[in-house]
Amino acid sequence: METIQLNYQEIGTGFPVVLLHGFPLDHSIWDPVVAYLKEEARLILPDLRGQGSSPLGKENSIRNMAEDVLDLLEHLKISRAVIVGHSMGGYIALAFARAHPERLAGFAMVASQAEADSPEKKQGRLNSVEEVRQHGVRRLAETMSVRLTAHPELVEKIKKIILRAKPEGVIAALKAMADRPDATDWLADINVPAVVISGDSDAFIPLERAETLERLMPHAWRVILPGAGHMPMLEAPRETAHAIRELIQMVMDFKED
């Protein structure tokens, strides 16, 4: 399976925590959370394949993106880590958990879900592929930024991040998300502490998807952030960091069944 060398930032010391960003963003979305955690965790923030400053491979799938994360852990000589996935990063975290459970110490899904796309959602992604091919990312940045957050003052910040995205990387990620399998059946195999972080005003992921994650993972709990949308790390960074800090503590205390 093809893997690529990811661009990444490493900050802090302590238990290793990998923060995977969503679509069509980059690792900088985690900066507000990093400020709260850098004194107590070794934070690894990659740009995912084709996103940010990371190159685009030839075989672009959610599973390949998960293998890129494994390669990064190997490069950093990290045997086990807490994996935190936001939105598309959550899909990659799920693929990582299924393929490499022995490397998973803790698990967090942030504004994400286990279900595959419905036919309508898949078609919508393919329509977006054509739009990006024809018009680049500007139109996507305009329409998506206002839906990603429940906080109007963050729209311009998010739009600027999306405008940095490479059209070919955006297209590859859209196709990878459209083709991803349903992960619901293997949630029960995630036998480590797991937290599900959701905004109660998320325009993309219904709260019942978070309920499914909490119910089916054996050691999961849920944190709902009032007034947050699809970007909890920007909208409620202190509370998001607190949930991740609690997860790290649970990992340190955890005894496997």
CA dihedral of residues 107, 97, 128, 28 (deg, nearest 10): 40
Instruction: Say whether pLDDT at 62 is over 80.
Output: yes
Helix axes 119-135, 167-179, angle to 10 degrees: 170
pTM beyond cutoff 0.95: yes
Model pLDDT, residue 1: 73
First vs last C-alpha separation in the chain: 32
Mean pLDDT of 186-214: 96
| Concatenated DSSP letters of 3-15 | --PPPEEEE--SE
Q: What is the DSSP letter of 58?
A: S
Please count the residues of the chain.
Answer: 257
Residues 6+ apart with CB under 8 A from 249: none
Phi and psi at residue 221, to the nearest 5°: -140, 165
Structure confidence at residue 176 as a pLDDT band (50, 70, 90): very high
| Spatial contact of 193 and 229, defined as CB atoms under 8 Å apart | no
Cα-trace Rg, the chain = 17
Q: What is the pLDDT of residues 32-46, one digit of tens each?
A: 999 999 999 999 999
Residue 59 is predicted with a pLDDT of 85
| Strands of the sheet with 15-20, listed across from one edge | 8-11, 41-46, 15-20, 81-86, 104-110, 194-199, 220-225
Determine contact, residues 61/99, Cβ cutoff 8 Å: no
Specify the pLDDT at position 115.
97
One-letter amino acid identity for 188? A
- Residue 98 CA to residue 166 CA, distance in Å, equals 29
